[in-house]
Structure 1
Amino acid sequence: MSEELSQAHVLVADDAPTVRQSIRMTLAQSGINRADTASSIGETRRRLRNGQFDVVLCDYHFGEGMNGQELLEELRHSGELPLYTIWIMITAEASYEKVVAVAEIGPDDYLIKPFTSKQLTQRLSLAWSRKRFLKPIYDKINEGDTLGAIAEAKALVPKAAGFSNDLMRLLSSLLLEAGKLEEAAKLYADILSQRIVPWAKLGLAKTLSRQGKKTQAESTLQAAIVEHGQYVDAYEELASMYMAEGRLNEAMAVFEKCLALTPNNVSRLQKAGNLANMLGDSGKAKQFLERAVTCGGNSSLLSGDTVLQLALAARRENNSSDTDKYLRMVREIARREDSTVNRIIDLLATAVYEGKPQLLEQIESYMSNPEFILEIAVSFIMTADLICPATVEGEQASGSTAPYKWLLHIAQRFITTRHISGMLESSANMRPAWQSFIQQAGVEINDLNNEGVQLMLKSQFADAIAILLPAAQSTYNQRLMLSSSHAIIKYLKSDAQVERKEREALLKQAYQFIGRLEGMIDVATFHSLNTELQGLLGGE
């Protein structure tokens, strides 16, 4: 064992005191004396949040609730577990090998109980060497320099030796993240031509999806699931693809299969609960979201919006005890960290608790913010539905007064498909006047966008901009921003006589729109638009 490893700070996480003590003794026999312990999932989270550990030795089973694998996935997703930290799973189950074989986020290694100090030392030494080999890449990732990380990874390829698999996995994921889709697809295909590995098949499917090759991506994911029935990450990617295409019932069926394999994954439980709400199945939504809260505990992945949904459901059922409990929890989560989303959620919870619809006025200024996402908009409408005065038959729906001005803003911002319109309408519960107002606002947005697209098809780009741009600027609707960006680029490429001041203003606006569209549209479309825009900016 290296002297560096002997000084490592280790966290031993196991719910059995005798096992924790035994592992500490085994570590001491191996020459490692800096070892702390944790007896539960919650304590493990707190320890890792408040201290720095070089190694985590974590038991797979913690009795009821979340297991070690689910905790590892959560901590990697949230960024609370540093890339440099070694995670070794300890289990009495030989079947864990099947779990880790198809885990997108797996431990650095695992040990089957009982094990000797020699076995532990060997696994730790190998994992330590691997982390040190990959350190130049991790350094660049931590700096937010994805392209630099790719360069470091490529430089390490000739020296990879026994770490080639780990290096190729990291390099391919970085290429995908950077939008280098052709290069990522080729690397994944090369890896799969040598041997079938689940992570490469999933990576290839993600690449195909981002290239706009949806049918190929779907068949690749389905093949991966057939070959590896426990491949939960492939299930989740397939569900996300179905949701993006509006195939919500199919997405729910996939999520339910996924949760049958990982019933305590906080992130997936929340996604499934929100999806159930979209489908109007409040009973199923409540079941999933309550499970997320139970398993989430002090998890940073537990969203305040998830708990708010439960508070609203309890309020609708006139369950004041649960309403108050969940509202307190919402405010506690929202106040852990100051962010736009947390400020909005805190205001919504306060409005429900105090029964004051006028507090919703304070949220209006956030409605154009990129962080005011569709899920928050749904919660806003559900909150307004609960606390606003009852709708009076025959009341005038005016987009200049509350609550209709809020509904108008939300409808114009988010409605891009009939399915999204339906989701917002269903959030209004039993208020037909609100539902009709939302639907009509969506129809008007769709008609306006279609009018602009028709003008573009006739090469009347200036006229298209005149219609689309003001609407996109005032609503930040995804379809309107996309159509406006296309119109601006086509206009500037077709008419070189545009005045410099107008040209600069249009380029600035397209740059802003395309920046907001990143992550909202498929990567292939985004990359194409961005490339065209950069070409025009380069001519400045």
Structure 2
Amino acid sequence: MTAPPGAPAAAAAPAARATLADVDWASKNYLVVDDFIGIRQLLRESLRNLGAKNIDQASSGGEAMALLSRIRYDVVLCDYNLGEGKNGQQVLEEARVHQLLLPSSVWLMVSAEKSMESVIGAAEHQPDAYLIKPITEGVLLTRLNRVWHKKQVFRMIDLAYGEKDYLRAAALCDAQIDVDQVHHIELLRMKAHLMLKSGEPDKAREAYERVVAEREYQWARSGLAKIRMTNGEYEQARQIFQGVIAENRYYIDAYDQLAATHQLMGQLEEASKVLERAAKLSPNSVLRQRSLGQVCLKLGKLPMAEKAFRKCIAIGEYSVMKSADAYLGLARVCGQKNEVKEALALLQAVQKEFAGDELIGLRAKITEGLVYHESGDYRRARKAGDELEALLNADPARPAVAVCLDMATLLLAVGVKEAPVELLCYVARNNHDNSVLLDEVQRIFDKARMGEEGIALIRDAKKQATDLMNQGVLLWRSGKLQEAIEWMRHARLTLPNNMRILFNAAQIQLSHMQQSGYEAALGAETAEVLLQIDRIGPGQQRFAQLMEQLARLVPATAVATPVTTTAT
């Protein structure tokens, strides 16, 4: 993994000093991807003149993915437009998601596309260079040589990163910074990223501030804003992101982060406007179009929601980010426009396209009921509601928060009360400190003409969760660690998806082992609590920090399995 998009260009001095002869190009593996055979042959000959011997070719995105899944390439030259199927941007995106590239691999995106949206869209997926056709052999070899030498600076750091040993990777950054002034800014950027992955936001802030003290790079300022956003300092984060955009209206990540900040502040109208601007600049992001569609659907801005969902489906056809949410969202739009036939066709399509997702059937049934209700077919809506109520009664497990909210909305709309009220209270108890989500729960009560009752229910749910958590924390601070552990086990059984309770339970168990020594059974239990947190909300900074604490407690002779994580 090299530095994220928007990093300062590598200094030319070392690259200029490094010659083509400095690298054993003959030993490298190469992949050339282009749908035109003539272009592939030209690029192959240029590489041969460099000394390359092991050169594979692919004429489509699908063929490229098949090769990438079998062979680790040192250099990939990939055209942006590849005809039918995946384009070059989607190939790069999928290769990164599935980690099919070596840490030191070089990816050169090659294209005749000069439009701003194509260049920005490709840059979002971090190619090492973007070359505009026609390309002379001299330009190709010079850029390849320059990028290759830059990538080697990060090679050992990337290897540690790939092993999820973020602290070792950060230490390698520090060691490299001491001897490499040319790349020290990029190394500081990498260190900040690693500190965030390690659950050390204060150290990440120090790295970003060190960069900003030298020069106000937009990515460093955005990094500081993301830390503020994570800490709940939404207004400060919003101001920084807006300042970055004012200075560079093509810095797309700042738009996405600004929109996320607005949503955390409950400002959906502002979020939709920011996402709309970003989608105009770089329209080929599945995730951005999905977010735009979802926000606009909540606001009742049906034309914009429909446009975003249709675009999301179209560009997601060959993308690893293909989204069921776009199909379900578009079905809701069609239902509100009384286009029931298309809505039902979309629900059939989503169940076929995402057959491996066990939640899709449930989500499709909820959406079907909402479509019938919003189009005025109350009999079929009630039938769908009855089926969902039966499912809730048969299975005590509850789905994800967004699914619970949609299900409660439908059930209340068709006249069911007990089951949806229980669902909404479940959501409130498990998210008692999330004010934006609790406001959304209250709006569902308001829409069902249960506003006053909803206020009381949410207040009671928050008190139940707070009392459960506080009792465990009080026992912990009183030094009654074993009692605190037992109490938090009870709290976890009562509220299995409450992040605050889970975090505190893990912290109390870690404190006990730090004082009394590592216990294999308790260590495994703590790891499972942390993995439950990661399943509910991937990427939590405190999660990475507690996992590091647990890993330090495990004796070298112990089996490492209990602390294995798939955190992203």
TM-score (norm 1): 0.72
Q: Which runs of 5+ in 1 are unaligned?
A: 336-341
From 256, 264, 281, give the equivalent of 1:244: 264
Residues 367-446 of structure 1: matches in 2 within 5 Å? 372-381=399-408, 385=410, 391-392=414-415, 397-399=417-419, 405-406=422-423, 408-414=425-431, 416-417=433-434, 419-424=436-441, 441-446=457-462
What is the Cα deviation at residue 333 of structure 1?
Answer: 2.5
1:244 maps to a residue whose letter is L
> 1:401-427: CA deviations, max 9, x gaps?
xx6655554454346556424535767
Residue 348 of structure 2 corresponds to residue 327 of structure 1: yes
Cα distance change, pair 409–261 in 1 and its aligned pair in 2 (3 A): same
> 1:433-471: CA deviations, max 9, x gaps?
7x8886664342134456679999999999xx9999866
Match of 1:146 in 2: 166
1:375 maps to a residue whose letter is A
1:444 maps to a residue whose letter is D
Cα distance change, pair 32–441 in 1 and its aligned pair in 2 (3 A): farther
Q: Contact 1:70–1:264 (CA<8 Å) still a contact in 2?
A: no
Cα distance change, pair 20–506 in 1 and its aligned pair in 2 (3 A): closer
Which deviates more from structure 2 when the two are superposed, residues 319-328 or residues 147-156? Answer: 319-328
Match of 1:12 in 2: 33
How big is the alpha-carbon RMSD for the aligned residues of Structure 1 and Structure 2? 5.2
Which deviates more from structure 2 when the two are superposed, residues 74-83 or residues 218-227? Answer: 74-83
Cα distance change, pair 359–455 in 1 and its aligned pair in 2 (3 A): closer
Cα distance change, pair 422–81 in 1 and its aligned pair in 2 (3 A): farther
Q: Distance in 2 between matches of 1:112 and 1:487?
A: 53
What is the Cα deviation at residue 328 of structure 1?
Answer: 2.9
Match of 1:176 in 2: 196
From 76, 83, 107, give the equivalent of 1:56: 76
Match of 1:113 in 2: 133
Residues 489-508 of structure 1: matches in 2 within 5 Å? none
What is the Cα deviation at residue 145 of structure 1?
Answer: 1.6
Cα distance change, pair 527–200 in 1 and its aligned pair in 2 (3 A): same
Q: Distance in 1 between matches of 2:326 and 2:70?
A: 25
SS at match of 2:131: strand
Cα distance change, pair 66–510 in 1 and its aligned pair in 2 (3 A): closer
Residue 35 of structure 2 corresponds to residue 35 of structure 1: no
Q: Contact 1:273–1:289 (CA<8 Å) still a contact in 2?
A: yes
Residue 210 of structure 2 corresponds to residue 190 of structure 1: yes
From 224, 237, 242, give the equivalent of 1:204: 224
1:442 maps to a residue whose letter is I
1:377 maps to a residue whose letter is C
> 1:144-198: CA deviations, max 9, x gaps?
2212222333333345465444433322211222122232222222222323333
> 1:283-339: CA deviations, max 9, x gaps?
43332222111001132212333323334544664533552344333443342xxxx
What is the Cα deviation at residue 263 of structure 1?
Answer: 0.9
SS at match of 1:131: helix
Q: Distance in 1 between matches of 2:393 and 2:51?
A: 60
Which deviates more from structure 2 when the two are superposed, residues 139-148 or residues 344-353? Answer: 344-353
1:37 maps to a residue whose letter is A
Cα distance change, pair 439–309 in 1 and its aligned pair in 2 (3 A): farther
Q: Contact 1:242–1:251 (CA<8 Å) still a contact in 2?
A: yes
Residue 273 of structure 2 corresponds to residue 253 of structure 1: yes
Q: Distance in 2 between matches of 1:467 and 1:281?
A: 47
Match of 2:320 in 1: 300
Match of 1:345 in 2: 360
> 1:111-144: CA deviations, max 9, x gaps?
2332221221222233333334422222222222
Q: Which runs of 5+ in 2 are unaligned?
A: 1-19, 370-382, 479-483, 555-568
Q: Distance in 2 between matches of 1:299 and 1:381?
A: 32
SS at match of 2:107: strand
What is the Cα deviation at residue 72 of structure 1?
Answer: 4.2
Q: Contact 1:212–1:524 (CA<8 Å) still a contact in 2?
A: no
**Number of residue pairs the alignment of both structures matches:** 506
TM-score (norm 2): 0.69
Match of 1:339 in 2: none
Q: Distance in 1 between matches of 2:548 and 2:50?
A: 55
Cα distance change, pair 486–251 in 1 and its aligned pair in 2 (3 A): farther
Q: Contact 2:438–2:458 (CA<8 Å) still a contact in 1?
A: yes
2:326 maps to a residue whose letter is T
Match of 2:288 in 1: 268
Q: Distance in 2 between matches of 1:414 and 1:141?
A: 32
